[in-house]
């Protein structure tokens, strides 16, 4: 069990009261660092690419590297496309071998969001073995976090979240609950934990597995994260922190060893910095040991 879809591991996480780390990578070497770090902790893991690195490297190249690295990792590994707004690109990633796709049509009016999201779900079903994440509400950038968090109209209405999931057939729901992408500008960003719990309860009552996704994971306090998991979140996205690790890892190396022109050593420093982020989050999320063969 190495190449899996997100539903395979997230339904188990929801029931087990932990979350699986979903880590955005920007290079093949960083993918290797994330998978190896997770394997060291016997934790299931989700590798994510946003559209920009996926388009730069090519989804076929990413998926080929994923298949090779995941098949020898000894833990379940998902390859996920994060926040794609491009239906054709979602289909290309499905064809290439991604096992989970996020179609983010949340900026469209509700009916259009349903129609666009459903088109990707239908394609994934045809292909088989691929699950789909949809978003309802607005997960903002940190610049707008406070405004968004205090404006109910852009957060995910629990009843509408369930209707949206039924109408589209999505496997995972990313509900807007006040989290944001980037580095939070306030120490205690306003996160609507009760809303997450309400959505989880309604999904359970409707008999839907529907794992819930926590976006904007970089910089949330451990206390908030644990409350969000207890409220029913089971996929935890970390992107910005891994970008910082990749760049800071290189900067630290060149500052300490300015005359060492050895790319392998430079990349090892970047990989070590990335692995440290992954290990920190897996321990907080409670997924350590949940991806072993007996887990």
Instruction: Point out the residues that are catalytic.
Output: 82
Angle at 155 between CA 102 and CA 114, to 5 degrees: 45
The nearer residue to Zn ion, 118 or 215, going by C-beta atoms, is 215
For residues 38 and 9, the answer to whether their CB atoms sit within 8 Å is no
Closer CB to Zn ion, residue 124 or residue 176? Answer: 176
Q: How far is CA 100 from CA 77, 190, 231, 250, in A?
A: 11, 29, 23, 30
Instruction: State the minimum distance, in angstroms, from the CB of residue 136 to Zn ion.
Output: 13
For the bound state, the minimum distance from the C-beta of residue 260 to Zn ion, rounded and expressed in Å, comes to: 36
Question: Looking at beta carbons only, is 93 or 271 nearer to Zn ion?
Answer: 93
Question: How many residues interact with Zn ion (rule CB under 5 A)?
Answer: 1
**What is the rounded CA–CA span in Å between residue 188 and residue 199?**
23
Nearest CA to 210 out of 232, 179, 238 is that of 232
Contacts of 66 (CB under 8 A, 6+ apart): 3, 31, 47, 77, 79, 97
Token couple for 167: 């109408």
Output the smallest distance, CB 295 to Zn ion, in A: 27
DSSP 3: B
**Nearest distance, CB of residue 102 and Zn ion, angstroms:** 8
CB-based contact 2:73 (threshold 8 Å): yes
Q: State which residue has the least CB distance to Zn ion.
A: 215
In the shown chain, the binding pattern of residues 187 to 226 toward Zn ion, with x for contact by CB under 5 A and - for none, equals ----------------------------x-----------
271's CB contacts (< 8 A; 6+ apart) are 29, 30, 32, 33, 249
Strand partners, 134: 103, 173
Q: Which residue has the tokens 């080929």?
A: 64
Closest to Zn ion by CB, 42 vs 215, is: 215
- Minimum distance from residue 213 beta carbon to Zn ion (Å): 8
By the rule CB under 5 A, 42 interacts with Zn ion: no
Residue with Cβ nearer Zn ion (39 or 210): 210
Residues engaged in binding Zn ion (CB under 5 A):
215
């Amino acid at each position: 069990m190495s190449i899996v879809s997100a539903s395979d591991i997230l339904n188990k996480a929801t029931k087990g009261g932990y979350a699986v780390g979903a880590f955005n990578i920007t290079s093949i070497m960083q993918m290797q660092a994330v998978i190896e770090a997770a394997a060291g902790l016997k934790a299931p893991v989700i590798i994510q690419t946003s559209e920009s690195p996926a388009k730069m490297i090519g989804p076929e190249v990413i998926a080929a590297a994923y298949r090779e690295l995941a098949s020898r990792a000894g833990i379940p590994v998902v390859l996920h496309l994060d926040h794609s707004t491009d239906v054709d690109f979602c289909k290309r990633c499905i064809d290439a071998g991604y096992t989970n796709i996020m179609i983010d049509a949340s900026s469209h009016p509700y009916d259009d969001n349903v129609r666009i999201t459903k088109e990707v779900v239908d394609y994934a079903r045809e292909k088989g073995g691929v699950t789909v994440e949809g978003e309802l509400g607005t997960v903002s950038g940190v610049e707008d976090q406070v405004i968004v968090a205090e404006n109910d109209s852009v957060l995910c209405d629990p009843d509408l979240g369930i209707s949206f999931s039924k109408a589209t057939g999505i496997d995972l729901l990313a509900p807007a609950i006040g989290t944001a992408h980037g580095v939070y500008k306030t120490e205690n960003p306003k996160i609507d934990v009760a809303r997450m719990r309400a959505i989880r309860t309604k999904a359970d009552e409707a008999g839907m597995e529907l794992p819930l996704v926590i976006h904007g994971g970089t910089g949330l306090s451990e206390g908030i994260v644990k409350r969000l998991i207890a409220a029913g979140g089971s996929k935890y996205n970390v992107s910005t922190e891994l970008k910082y690790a990749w760049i800071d890892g290189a900067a630290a190396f060149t500052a300490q060893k300015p005359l060492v022109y050895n790319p392998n050593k430079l990349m090892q420093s970047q990989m070590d910095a990335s692995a440290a982020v992954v290990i920190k989050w897996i321990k907080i999320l409670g997924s350590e040991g949940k991806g072993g063969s007996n887990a």
